[in-house]
Chain A
Amino acid sequence: MQLLWQVLVNGVLLGGLYALMALGLALIWGVLNIVNLAHGALIMLGAYVCYYLFTGFGWDPFAALPVAMLVLFCLGYLLQRYLLNLVIRAPMFNTLLITFGLEVVITYLAQIAFSADFRTINPSYAGANFPLFGATVPVVRILAFGVALALTVALWLLLVRTRIGRAIRATAQNLVAARLYGVDPRRLYALTFGLGAALAGAAGSLYGVVSQINPYIGAGLTAKSFAIAIIGGLENPLYVLVGGLFLGIAEALTALYIGPTYTDVVSFGILVLVLIVRPTGLLGRTA
């Protein structure tokens, strides 16, 4: 019972971070209809921004996180404005391939710039933890979970309450109608992609704190983000949060009861099952 409780706590904490990883992917997918295969590579870049601010300037990783978000926002904005907007009306398959090409390029450049070594962001409080009803909770994990949760809610508020958010949602629903109401899709698409990239940057910073990073983590993180976005559904950031928590707990339970080598079977098995049974996600409206 004690063990189960600890595993559940771990799963929930991991799930929050998973949700933040998938959030940017889901936003870009839902609004721009681009499945961004370079999403994991953007997460990796965010982790390195945080890593170099931490080791080079001695910044606290949680203070470096907004900077990583800003850097990734600019990169994402430029990528969409000057490259992806050129192919946005091509068949969906072409946008899928071009983001794969970007993933290859980003990974290669990262490997040149940062070397292939494993790195960790290790603040002084990395080993600290506290008990919670008998389970041990590492401080960095609960902090990462809190930031992930706050950013998810912030994105939800942005989409629901602000003018920009309304423009984004309107464009996702009907591009032509949004244009008639004065939305400039070129800028709005760039802005949305930038937001998605900024979320990837935040996820990367947190990932660097709780795990190890190297230039090749991107592809695996993209696949995981897919699974989460699909399981939750693309319509609402809060659905993605549920997807992340669901997968985090499912993986933790699998590792406990079936074996750690089966976590991928379970997460991608769930992905395929959800796609076949409910392609709009567990919480999404049925088409």
Chain B
Amino acid sequence: MKLAQQLALAAIGVAALATVPWWGSAVLIQFGINALILATLAQSWNIIGGYTGYPSFGNSVFYGLGGYGTAIAMVQFHLPFAAGLALGAMLAVLFAFLLGLPVLRLRGHYFAIATLGLAEVMAAIVSNLEIAGRNVGLVLPLLKGDALFFELSLGLLALTTLVVAWISRSRFGFGLVAIRENEEAAAVMGINTTLYKVLAFALCSVFTALAGGIHTYWITYLDPDSAFDISLNVKMIIMAVFGGAGTVFGPVLGAFLLSAISEVLASRITSMASLFFGLVIVAAIVFMPRGFADLIRRFREVGWRYFQENVKAHRL
């Protein structure tokens, strides 16, 4: 399928999803908000992790800054929600530029760990800030309107996916892929690698921060541990990788599938959900390391041998 056809299909899907608040149950709408926000996070991670090849563990910083920007604006300065979202996004972009410059010089494991360290530092700094409510956190005004949050999350996911679709076709996106495949070669071909990487980081920070802001206002509460939660960062990565990192629809697919599976498990056998989550990660990395999108594409040709070939390709 061409990208235009896929986007048309996706547009129909978005339109269908947008009707959910009119007929869905409260539980379904709440599940939907969570799944849409996770999908947005996975899709934003896709920009820096999937297309640029920089496995960021610092996206939870953007998420936390988005949440704190919103919370501080609304609680401490009594500004409207939109102003809070803008403040959160600005903070995140500022952070992406300031810390992206030094950190994006690192590669592979070192980049992953430096960003992990940044997330820990941010959590510790925020829990000492008076304006952010120290380690108690902030309580936002209550807004009863799950339908509104659903539509907002859906809109944000659609926007993020559109931007990723544009990236996958643009000169900018080809530059990012070139950096992922071989950074020296990309630089030799005349790509300003530093600029491209920082722009990708900043772009991913905007959407992550907006998702953080929406989620914070929805659950009306925020503390440093939940705002800068590393396991949320790992979740976005796993959803993106499970669906297919570096593809336009893979991360969304992965987020929806994994959210649905863990929701079903959590309601049936409560305590097994996290065990299952761990096992899915292990099995997915062994048998389908290129994600669900690749599985769908190739399974028709090679059938069950697909899994065998994946194991053969990477074992010692």
Contacts and interface: CB of A to CB of B under 8 A. Distances in A.
Interface of A: 29, 35, 83, 85-98, 100-105, 107-109, 112, 185-186, 189, 219, 223, 226-227, 230, 259, 261-262, 264-265, 268-269, 271-272, 275-276, 279
B134 to A, nearest CB: 9
Contacts of B106: 275-276, 279
B265 interface: no
Given A86-B286, A223-B116, A92 B108 contact: yes
Contacts of B117: 223, 226-227, 268-269, 271-272, 275
A268 B314 contact: no
Interface residues of B, number: 45
A269 B113 contact: no
Contacts of B114: 271-272, 275-276
Contacts of B271: 112
Given A101-B281, A101-B282, A105-B282, A226 B113 contact: yes
Contacts of B298: none
B120 A96 contact: no
Contacts of A94: 241, 285, 289, 314
B274 A101 contact: no
Query: What 3 A-B pairs are tightest by C-beta distance, nearest first?
Result: A101-B281, A104-B278, A105-B278
Interface of B: 55, 102-103, 105-106, 108-110, 112-114, 116-118, 120-121, 123-125, 127-128, 135, 230-231, 234, 237-238, 241, 271, 274-275, 277-282, 285-286, 289, 311, 313-316
Contacts of A97: 237-238, 241, 281, 285
B120 A86 contact: no
Nearest to B275: A108
State the main secondary structure of chain A at its contact with B: helix
Contacts of B313: 89-90
Given A88-B314, A107-B274, 4 more contacts: A94-B241, A261-B127, A264-B120, A275-B106
Contacts, number: 135
7 contacts: A86-B311, A87-B286, A100-B281, A104-B275, A108-B274, A268-B120, A272-B103
B315 to A, nearest CB: 5
A261 B105 CA distance: 30
A272 B116 CA distance: 9
Contact of A261 (B128, B289, B314): B128
A191 to B, nearest CB: 13
A267 to B, nearest CB: 8
B36 to A, nearest CB: 23
Contact of B278 (A86, A102, A226): A102
B282 A265 contact: no
A112 B278 CA distance: 15
B249 to A, nearest CB: 20
A122 B152 CA distance: 54
A86 B237 contact: no
Given A186-B316, A279-B106, A223 B285 contact: no
Given A100-B234, A101-B282, A86 B314 contact: yes
B111 to A, nearest CB: 9
A268 B121 contact: yes
A101 B113 contact: no
Contacts of B103: 272, 275-276
Residue from B114, B120, B279, B314 with most neighbouring chain A CB atoms (10 Å): B120
B315 A87 contact: yes
Contacts of A223: 116-117, 120
A109 B275 contact: yes
Contacts of B281: 97-98, 100-101, 104
Contacts of A269: 117, 121
A272 B121 CA distance: 9
A102 B286 contact: no
B210 to A, nearest CB: 26
B292 to A, nearest CB: 15
Contacts of B121: 264-265, 268-269, 272
A189 B316 CA distance: 10
B124 A268 contact: yes
B109 A92 contact: yes
Contact of A104 (B108, B241, B274, B316): B274
Contacts of A92: 108-109
Contact of B315 (A29, A35, A89, A112): A89
A264 B124 contact: yes
B314 A89 contact: yes
Residue from A88, A89, A104 with most neighbouring chain B CB atoms (10 Å): A104
Contacts of B274: 104, 107-108
A87 B289 contact: yes
A101 B109 contact: no
Contacts of A226: 113, 116-117
B315 A104 contact: no
